[in-house]
Chains A and B, each alone.
Chain A
Amino acid sequence: MKTTELAIVGAGPAGVCAALEAASCGVKVTLIDREEQIGGQLVKQTHKFFGWHEKSAGTRGIVISGDLADQVKANPDICFMGSAEALGYFQDDGVLLLETPVGIQKLKPERLLIATGASEKMILFPGNDLPGVYGAGAVQTLMNVHGVRPGKSVLMIGSGNIGLIVSYQLAQAGVKVAAVVEALPNIGGYAVHASKIRRLGIPIYTRHSIKEAYGTACVEGAIIWQLDDNWQGIAGTEKQLDVDVICLATGLTPLCEFLWQAGAEMAYIPELGGFVPLYDENMETTVEGVYVAGDAACIEEASTAMAEGRLAGLAIAYSLGKVPADEFSRKRAESLKELDELRAGPTSGAIVKGLAVMKEQMRKRVSQ
């Protein structure tokens, strides 16, 4: 059976940054992704990133993923396995099962990092099974990876950063965005993203949702309506929209099946996106040797995922004896400070609250 010092499942921003950090300390890394390409969701992100000037702020996700991929390929200590789907992790013997183009393979890592990202949430409404109802990730893949427009006119559901950014990208691709609806009283994403699409003439309706999608063989239109304080639609406020695409950007939830399977202790923390693993300041879960980073740990921005990846990579290198203790504590303190600063603004309020709940549960568990 093949062995490796560190196996990373997911070559998105968190996984790649962990791989680069760990490899820079001398760890032999196997980086696994079901896609052929390195970069995860970054490959479809055409907007410029926020964050620090020194740490790729102002650079588009797609450019960042290209840079990261070049660094991975140039690093002899990282073996990238593309088109390899991780099927399961068997804690008893520490074996990771992979489906690769050459068949099923077993891999036994000394450390495992789960950086599997997130999956999209679906919402219920009549007609949500019609062709033409897409997740925002699929719309981005079609447009930004394959150069295919999803349709002519779109209703966007959800005004978080993904809903706002994908609306902007649709407009750039020449697709009309008829409206963005948001069930909450306020726009969920950054104000600058909202202003950017508003001045393109795209209306944003807060306290609104979709009542139904209609059409015989595919989406031919949608009806939206206003919501009351109990999230119920208000009769008489319906608006009909001629759209052939309904794009759902209604939130993400951590993809953490591997962590469940590994026996990691999980907690339901809505602020972090749903069920998340408990983990410590080294990004290590309650299962020794199994780490987490990025959206699999908590739904946040890619800049945070990259910072978490670097922290996990460093901590793993230290646990394998590749980094001296003083260097580790200094670098870890820098990393934690970086994460704190990324989360210092009001837009991260819920995340900070959710992380405090997670840390408290972790603390109680350790003290038991």
Chain B
Amino acid sequence: MKPDVLMTTGIPSKEQIDSATPPGSRRKQGPFVVIECFQEIPCDPCYHSCRFGAIKPFESLNDIPQVDWEKCTGCGVCVAACPGLAIFVVDETFSDTECLIAMPYEFSPLPGKGDPVHLLDRSGDKVGEGVVHRVVPGRKPQGTPVVWVRAPRELSLNVRNLLPSAGKGGNNCV
């Protein structure tokens, strides 16, 4: 039996990531959600958080969320709603060289707009440098903040974490 990369390392396989990514034509149209939730667990807040109906209705609580990318506006509300911190938003139309990536970020202190950050991949390795574009503080009591970073466009599907590069970040890496 082929070992399950996700369940031996915590890093999703290329096939899994591809399945969560919209087709190229959609990626050129503006921000889109990437839901990296590949295991059936009893959980449905993402579906309820979407005001645009872009996450298809669940038949069972254990369903894996399915996205209708034509309805997704890339607003990022589901990023903060996901209990598993498994949802990201990517905008490859930000500029010719840069993309925007929205990531859940539960470390203190929160970075501020304009702060430089190291960009980390799914293994926590530094893959580039970016700048904080926007910070959306957590909403409900102790909700998850969402940090939008500007990143080199070619890293849009690789960057999944950040580490403030100036001052002290409460992150494990380094």
Taking the complex as formed, is B25 at the interface, i.e. its CB lies under 8 A from any CB of chain A?
no
Cα(A60)–Cα(B38), bound, Å: 22
Asked if A62 contacts B142 (CB within 8 A), the reply is yes
Asked if B83 contacts A191 (CB within 8 A), the reply is no
Asked if B44 contacts A195 (CB within 8 A), the reply is no
Asked if A347 contacts B171 (CB within 8 A), the reply is no
- Known A-B contacts A58-B81, A199-B161; the reply to A347 vs B39 at CB < 8 A is yes
Taking the complex as formed, is A172 at the interface, i.e. its CB lies under 8 A from any CB of chain B?
yes
CB-based nearest B residue for A180: B10
A166 to chain B, nearest CB (A): 13
Taking the complex as formed, is A118 at the interface, i.e. its CB lies under 8 A from any CB of chain B?
no
Within 8 A of A (CB), among B130-150: 140-142, 144
Taking the complex as formed, is B24 at the interface, i.e. its CB lies under 8 A from any CB of chain A?
no
Cα(A341)–Cα(B63), bound, Å: 11
A120 to chain B, nearest CB (A): 23
Q: Which stretch (A42-50, A224-232, A234-242) binds chain B? A: A42-50
Interface size on A, residues (CB 8 A): 48
- Known A-B contacts A174-B170, A191-B10, A204-B10; the reply to A51 vs B142 at CB < 8 A is no
Cα(A341)–Cα(B59), bound, Å: 11
Asked if B43 contacts A57 (CB within 8 A), the reply is yes
Taking the complex as formed, is A201 at the interface, i.e. its CB lies under 8 A from any CB of chain B?
yes
Asked if A303 contacts B125 (CB within 8 A), the reply is no
A: residues with CB less than 8 A from B are: 46-53, 57-60, 62-63, 170-174, 176-177, 185-187, 190-202, 204, 206, 303, 341-348
Asked if B45 contacts A202 (CB within 8 A), the reply is no
Using Cβ atoms and an 8 Å threshold, which residues of chain A touch B49? 53
Cα(A47)–Cα(B11), bound, Å: 20
B65 to chain A, nearest CB (A): 12
Asked if A197 contacts B161 (CB within 8 A), the reply is no
Using Cβ atoms and an 8 Å threshold, which residues of chain A touch B8? 185-187, 204, 206
Taking the complex as formed, is B166 at the interface, i.e. its CB lies under 8 A from any CB of chain A?
no
A-B contact pairs, 8 of them (CB 8 A): A50-B84, A59-B141, A60-B142, A171-B107, A173-B170, A191-B6, A201-B120, A347-B41
Cα(A125)–Cα(B50), bound, Å: 49
Using Cβ atoms and an 8 Å threshold, which residues of chain A touch B172? 170-171, 176-177, 197, 200-202
Asked if B40 contacts A345 (CB within 8 A), the reply is yes
Interface residues on B, range: 35 or more
Using Cβ atoms and an 8 Å threshold, which residues of chain B touch A60? 141-142
CB-based nearest A residue for B62: A345
Cα(A206)–Cα(B37), bound, Å: 21
Q: Which of B7, B141, B160, B170 is in CB contact (< 8 Å) with A187?
A: B7
Cα(A172)–Cα(B123), bound, Å: 17
Asked if B42 contacts A50 (CB within 8 A), the reply is yes
Taking the complex as formed, is B152 at the interface, i.e. its CB lies under 8 A from any CB of chain A?
no
- Known A-B contacts A171-B171, A172-B107; the reply to A63 vs B83 at CB < 8 A is no
Q: Which of B42, B81, B108, B120 is in CB contact (< 8 Å) with A51?
A: B42
Asked if A195 contacts B10 (CB within 8 A), the reply is yes
Q: Which of B45, B82, B124, B170 is in CB contact (< 8 Å) with A198?
A: B124
Using Cβ atoms and an 8 Å threshold, which residues of chain A touch B45? 53, 57-58
Using Cβ atoms and an 8 Å threshold, which residues of chain B touch A201? 120, 123-125, 171-173
Cα(A67)–Cα(B27), bound, Å: 42
Cα(A192)–Cα(B144), bound, Å: 15
3 A-B pairs closest in CB distance: A201-B124, A192-B84, A198-B10
CB-based nearest B residue for A182: B8
B99 to chain A, nearest CB (A): 18
Taking the complex as formed, is B98 at the interface, i.e. its CB lies under 8 A from any CB of chain A?
no
- Known A-B contacts A58-B81, A172-B107, A199-B123; the reply to A192 vs B61 at CB < 8 A is no
B32 to chain A, nearest CB (A): 19
Cα(A122)–Cα(B26), bound, Å: 52
Cα(A347)–Cα(B40), bound, Å: 7
CB-based nearest A residue for B37: A192
Cα(A177)–Cα(B40), bound, Å: 27
A144 to chain B, nearest CB (A): 12
- Quick one: CB contact mask for B3-29 with A, threshold 8 Å, 1 for yes? 110111111100000000000000000
CB-based nearest A residue for B12: A195
Cα(A170)–Cα(B11), bound, Å: 20
Query: Which has the most chain A C-beta neighbours within 10 Å: B4, B81, B82, B83?
Result: B83
Using Cβ atoms and an 8 Å threshold, which residues of chain B touch A303? 42
Cα(A171)–Cα(B62), bound, Å: 29
CB-based nearest A residue for B86: A192
Cα(A347)–Cα(B107), bound, Å: 28
A153 to chain B, nearest CB (A): 10
B140 to chain A, nearest CB (A): 7
Using Cβ atoms and an 8 Å threshold, which residues of chain A touch B144? 48
Cα(A202)–Cα(B121), bound, Å: 12
Asked if A186 contacts B7 (CB within 8 A), the reply is yes
